[in-house]
DNA sequence: ACTGAAAGGGTAGTAAT
DNA sequence: ATTACTACCCTTTCAGT
């Protein structure tokens, strides 16, 4: 379960760089962080092994793949027992249209970020996943008009 | 503003693969898509030039970087005029804690996904960005207890 | 049909990591 | 040593005549 990973400032600088651009070479990185290319590569390998770097991915433009719409949905469940919760989570993880899913406190139990083709596609989604599901008490839909900022970047804080 | 990029099934298979794992080699890709490594690379270059692939990034585990908390905030503005909107958007783009920002229809005007250190850090954020801002009518906070699914993956539809 | 241009794949050699 | 990049050549397609 090793949650305790200690990172120094070199690690932080590397992480800050690769989360902005994962294609920077160790050579370029060596200059910005102040280590040799080989040292940078060793650290990168360690950071991946330790799952500080979870994955390296390409970010696509949804629009370019065809008509696309982002929808944010807040869901309240009927009653929260573990079985229902886990089943719902599993289903969200398995569903392609679900880009992100958060289990939250507050008004909503879940917040989903979906990418669907159009409003009809979303209507179909609600039929398949919400109306057909007795556990869902209500849900609230927010259509995204402007994706102001997207990313998965995390502040790399100084200690 | 050439939005029209036509993609064939080869492109789709490449995109589907790299958005899951951006570190697959052209060699490996060549097998899964059925082209030569060089052809795959040429397509990757084109897809990046055409901004179908927007960026290649490393995804970090926020927890591993120190204490971290994800918060989803729904914001309603006082009155929506273009100046206020644009200024707010710009500010969100510039703020490190703001991982994602969406301008939406529905109950909320904006939905933010923040990554902060702890609840006190969030309190400071609200003071700096919400209470000090006369344009913000109200905001609703959802603390994330479980990040069920994260990613920026998009369905790569068949035509 | 014939030709020439354009697009895209493969091979192979070179540079980078 | 492995992987990425690229220059070169070949095939297919399609436009214009």
Q: Which of residues 43-72 of B touch A (CB under 8 A)?
A: 50-66, 68, 70, 72
The closest of B26, B60, B114, B68 to A149, measured between CA atoms, is B114
Q: What's the token pair of residue B25? A: 């080699």
Task: Give the whole-angstrom CA distance, residue B93 versus residue B70.
Answer: 17
The class (CATH top level) of B62-143 is alpha beta
Q: Specify the pLDDT at position B3.
A: 57
| A145 near B CB under 8 A | yes
Q: Specify the pLDDT at position A159.
A: 54
Q: Specify the pLDDT at position B81.
A: 86
Following DSSP, what letter does each residue of B88-148 receive, concatenated?
HHHHHHH-TTEEEEEEESSS-SEEEEEEESSHHHHHHHHIIIIIT-TTEEEEEEEEEEEEE
Mean pLDDT of B7-36: 95
The 3-state DSSP class for residue B30 equals helix
Place of tokens 């909320």: B108
List pLDDT tens digits, range A39-48: 999 999 999 9
* B150 phi and psi angles, rounded to 5 deg: -130, 155
Q: Which of residues 109-128 of A touch B (CB under 8 A)?
A: 110-111, 115, 117
Task: Give the whole-angstrom CA distance, residue A139 versus residue B23.
Answer: 38
Cβ(A98)–Cβ(A116) below 8 Å? no
Mean pLDDT of B13-38: 96
Q: Hey, where are the domains in chain B?
A: 9-49, 62-143
pLDDT category at A79 given cuts 50, 70, 90 is: confident
> Best mutation site among A122, A138, A154 for testing chain B: the one with the most B CBs within 10 Å?
A154
CATH topology of domain B9-49: Arc Repressor Mutant, subunit A (1.10.10)
| Chain A / chain B CB contacts < 8 angstroms | 236
Q: How many angstroms separate the CA of B30 from the C1' of D13?
A: 24
**With 60 as the cut, is the pLDDT of residue A10 above it?**
yes
């Amino acid at each position: 379960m090793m949650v305790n990973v200690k990172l120094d400032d070199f690690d932080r600088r590397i992480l800050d760089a690769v989360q902005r651009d994962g294609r920077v070479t160790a050579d370029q990185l060596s200059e910005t962080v102040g280590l040799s290319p080989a040292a940078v590569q060793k650290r990168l390998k360690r950071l991946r092994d330790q799952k500080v770097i979870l994955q390296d991915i390409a970010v696509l433009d949804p629009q370019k793949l065809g008509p696309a719409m982002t929808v944010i949905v807040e869901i309240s469940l009927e009653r929260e027992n573990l079985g229902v919760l886990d089943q719902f989570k599993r289903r969200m993880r398995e569903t392609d249209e679900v880009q992100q899913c958060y289990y939250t406190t507050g008004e909503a139990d879940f917040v989903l970020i979906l990418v669907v083709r159009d409003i009809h596609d979303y209507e179909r989604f609600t039929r398949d996943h919400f109306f057909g599901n007795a556990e869902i008490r209500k849900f609230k839909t927010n259509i995204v008009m402007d994706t102001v900022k997207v990313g998965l970047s995390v502040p790399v804080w100084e200690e």
